[in-house]
């Protein structure tokens, strides 16, 4: 039985308004939790972790000529959305303990993008460029190599064998009350509340 995560802060305003945070966490995420609990009741998915459910239910592309075959799309979508939102909400802080990456994560970002600013510009551009609803991710492979993924809908790095480090939600429910259709303005505004201590821990653990 999955439950709604508690937020580790009371407010992220003015970057994310209290109204957006309340709807996003209390309504949207709660709905995914309720849906998944109903969908997995009495199935082989019951008792598994979110990551295990995401991997087990991930869409599989068939090599056969008839094309793509999906398995358990509703379970994948709801489990993915819980995992994605849990990672999203817990990476933020109104007063981040680290406001920029440090150590091996910073070194890898500088190696691949030349600077933190260049990485942030690339990340924002890929978030803006993602058509429709989804998530832009910073992910790491098993060798520590970083990549930015544009994942539609509920997709995430876990479904592709990668480690999720940082994500911005580009579903309109994440920003419409605050920025209406201005996704780029929302993404640019998020950097000051990213807690790079959390992101760095995800990279090194």
Contact residues toward Fe ion (CB under 5 A) are: 169, 171, 174
Both tokens assigned to 153: 């809908």
φ, ψ of residue 7 to 5 degrees: the values are: -80, 140
User: Measured from the CB atom, is 122 or 172 closer to Fe ion?
Assistant: 172
The residue whose Cβ lies closest to Fe ion is: 169
Residue 29: CB minimum distance to Fe ion, A: 7
d(CA 56, CA 48): 10
Residue 105: CB minimum distance to Fe ion, A: 24
d(CA 37, CA 51): 15
Residue 123: CB minimum distance to Fe ion, A: 17
Residue 158 · residue 62 · CB < 8 Å: no
Strands 146-152, 163-169: parallel, antiparallel or unpaired by DSSP? unpaired
Q: What is the DSSP letter of 113?
A: H
d(CA 135, CA 69): 22
Residue 183: CB minimum distance to Fe ion, A: 13
Where would I find the beta strands (DSSP E) of 11-145? 134-140
User: Measured from the CB atom, is 85 or 101 closer to Fe ion?
Assistant: 85
d(CA 142, CA 137): 16
User: Measured from the CB atom, is 162 or 174 closer to Fe ion?
Assistant: 174
User: Measured from the CB atom, is 169 or 195 closer to Fe ion?
Assistant: 169
User: Measured from the CB atom, is 32 or 203 closer to Fe ion?
Assistant: 32
């Amino acid at each position: 039985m999955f439950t709604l995560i508690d937020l580790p802060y009371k407010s992220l305003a003015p970057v994310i308004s209290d109204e957006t945070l309340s709807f996003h966490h209390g309504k949207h995420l709660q709905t995914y939790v309720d849906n998944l609990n109903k969908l997995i009741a009495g199935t082989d998915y019951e008792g598994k972790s979110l990551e295990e459910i995401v991997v087990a239910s991930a869409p599989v592309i068939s090599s056969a000529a008839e094309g793509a075959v999906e398995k358990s799309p509703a379970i994948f979508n709801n489990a993915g959305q819980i995992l994605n939102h849990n990672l999203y909400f817990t990476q933020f802080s109104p007063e981040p303990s680290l406001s920029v990456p440090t150590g091996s994560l910073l070194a890898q970002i500088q190696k691949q993008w030349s600077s933190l600013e260049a990485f942030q510009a690339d990340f924002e551009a890929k978030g803006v460029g993602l058509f429709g609803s989804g998530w832009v991710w910073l992910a790491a492979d098993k060798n520590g190599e970083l990549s930015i993924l544009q994942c539609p809908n509920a997709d995430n790095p876990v479904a592709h064998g990668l480690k999720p480090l940082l994500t911005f939600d580009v579903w309109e429910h994440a920003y419409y009350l605050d920025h209406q259709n201005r996704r780029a303005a929302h993404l640019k505004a998020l950097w000051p509340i990213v807690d790079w201590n959390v992101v760095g821990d995800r990279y090194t653990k």
